[in-house]
Structures are given as C-alpha cells and as structure tokens.
C-alpha cells in the first residue's frame, strides 16, 4: 500500500511547475492545471503552495481508502499448536516460523537492517532440528520468569477492571505464510475480537516511556503481527507496573489500532523471507554432508 507521492520533474520553467503524481486515487487539484499525461501535472509556479497543501489535505483521506481496501485482503487462516508455551513441542513448532516476539520487520513492516542475519539464523535452526531432532533450550532469566508470573495477575486484574472474559491460546500459525504468534489473551468487545498483550515494567521505566511517547511504539511490531494472526483490529496493551522487580502496583491499559500499511508491507516481507529461507536451506543441503 502506497500513499500519494509527488515528485518535481523540472524547475527549468520559471513560471510553471511540473509534478509526477503516483497513486493519486480520487485526488484532483482544484486550481487551473494541465495533465501532460495520466500522472504528470503542470501548473503555474504561483500555485505551488496551494498545490502542496491540497496534497497534504488529501493524504489522510487516501490512506483511509487504501486501508479499507487492504483490510479485506490482509487476512489469514490459522491453526493452533496445542502445547504449553516453553515446552519442547511448542519450541519445535516454531522452527523456521517468524514469530511476533522476534521478527525481521521494522516499524513500517519492511526488512530490518539485520534481515540477512535473521534469515541465516532461522535456516541454521531449521537445519539442526531436521538433522538431530533437537532445539535449543529456551533461556529464561529471573526477570523473565517474574514477568511470566506477573502476567497471570495482570490478566486477572484486566478482567476485574473491564469485566471482560479472556480466552487463551498457545501458538497460532498462519496456513498461508510462515508466521505465527502466541497472544497473551483474547477477548471480545461489541462482537469483535480484541488482542491482549501484557508487559511488565518498572514504574520509573514506564514513566520514561510515557514522557518520551514510546509506550505503544515499543511494541508496535509485535502487536501488529498478533492482530494479523487473530484477524482483529484492536490491541489492549496491558502494562503491569512494578514498584520493584516483582512487586506489582497496578495495570495501565493502552489501546493500539491495526496499521494496515504496516500489515501490507509485512506480508510482502514475509513472502520475500519464504523465498530466501527456501533458497538458503536448499543451498546448505547441497553443500553439507551430515553423517
């Protein structure tokens, strides 16, 4: 999905400006102008300020139109891996699969700078599993264990505060693409699914995130993947604040909306990942001898 883009083609004429307009949708410049071809517009230089202002005014309208169209396409069918999180079966089911907690996407859904390293690690992990049937043990330090313990209390408190019933699932994997997610919880509001993601942070950390306006941005990629897997449009980010490590204070609920532009870019990145994964796995198989 691409929003309207304008590109100045020439400044050679002092009295006129020429622009190329990509993905213009229903946009139509209101001032006198000439269409040189389907996507190239020319107008008097004195109208340039008004022209750019109209483009910016139309941009959110077009984004909404494109998002609505993309939302009907950006869906997936999932299957559940019925195994407890952290068990060997659960870990094995994640081999080669992109998961919400660790992805090759940036905040826009495009490839991260370390994309190639990510793919190589996934290929190596899958190859080792296929040849000796074993996976790395899941590492969990004390802070991570405390976060796991507090998650239960956060979900209980969420139910107490909102009155919403919560259902849980282990691992949900897409039937269409190599991606999956393990949501902390799912509820239903006004007949629509809502994803629940729980994070446990020290209060002073939360205050810093609140001040720098990164409370929801920090988990943007993870919850967008979860919403794609769950085919829903909203996430409730439940932040379990702590006075000291393991000393819960209370929860704070932030609402995060689905970002269809991110999802569209993410799907394109996953399809590229699948090609790269298969190509590198095949190359490795052709080069290595396993006794």
Element (H or E) spanning 219, and its range?
none
What are φ and ψ of residue 80, in 5° steps?
Answer: -100, 135
Q: Per residue in 68-125, pLDDT tens?
A: 999 999 999 999 887 776 677 777 788 899 999 899 999 999 999 999 999 999 999 9
Closest C-alpha among 171, 162, 148, 191 to residue 255: 162
Q: Per residue in 118-138, pLDDT tens?
A: 999 999 999 988 887 665 555
Closest C-alpha among 187, 195, 260 to residue 223: 195
Q: What single-letter DSSP state applies at residue 2?
A: -
Query: Are 166 and 155 within 8 A, CB to CB?
Result: yes
Element (H or E) spanning 217, and its range?
none
pTM: 0.81
Report d(CA 242, CA 248) in Å as an integer.
4
3-state secondary structure of 31: coil
What are φ and ψ of residue 178, in 5° steps?
Answer: -85, 70
Q: Cα separations (Å) of 30 from 15, 52, 55, 65, 202?
A: 19, 12, 11, 20, 53
Chain CA centroid to CA 142, Å: 28
β pairing state of 248-257 and 5-10: unpaired
Closest C-alpha among 258, 233, 262 to residue 108: 262
Residue 13 predicted with pLDDT over 90: no
| Residue found under tokens 């139309």 | 58
């Amino acid at each position: 999905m691409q929003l309207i883009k304008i590109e100045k083609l020439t400044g050679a004429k002092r009295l006129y400006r020429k622009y190329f307009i990509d993905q213009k949708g229903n946009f139509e410049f209101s001032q006198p102008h000439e269409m040189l071809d389907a996507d190239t517009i020319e107008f008097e230089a004195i109208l340039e300020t008004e022209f750019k202002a109209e483009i910016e005014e139309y941009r959110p309208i077009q984004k909404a139109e494109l998002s609505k169209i993309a939302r009907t396409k950006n869906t997936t069918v999932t299957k559940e891996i019925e195994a407890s999180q952290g068990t060997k079966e659960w870990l094995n089911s994640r081999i080669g699969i992109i998961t919400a907690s660790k992805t090759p996407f940036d905040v826009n859904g495009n490839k991260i700078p370390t994309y190639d390293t990510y793919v190589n690690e996934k290929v190596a992990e899958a190859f080792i599993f296929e040849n000796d049937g074993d996976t790395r043990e899941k590492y969990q330090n004390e802070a991570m264990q405390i976060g796991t313990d507090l998650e239960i209390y956060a979900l209980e408190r969420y139910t107490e505060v909102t009155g919403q019933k919560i259902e849980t699932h282990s691992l949900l994997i897409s039937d269409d693409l190599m991606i999956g997610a393990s949501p902390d919880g799912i509820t239903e509001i006004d007949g629509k699914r809502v994803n629940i993601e729980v994070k446990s942070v020290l209060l002073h950390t939360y205050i810093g995130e609140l001040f720098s306006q990164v409370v929801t941005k920090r988990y943007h990629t993870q919850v967008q993947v979860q919403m794609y897997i769950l085919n829903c449009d909203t996430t409730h980010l439940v932040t379990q604040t702590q006075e000291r490590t393991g000393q819960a204070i209370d929860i704070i609920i932030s609402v995060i909306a689905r970002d269809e532009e991110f999802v569209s870019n993410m799907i394109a990145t996953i399809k590229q990942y699948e090609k790269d994964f298969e190509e590198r796995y095949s190359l490795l198989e052709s080069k290595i001898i396993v006794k």
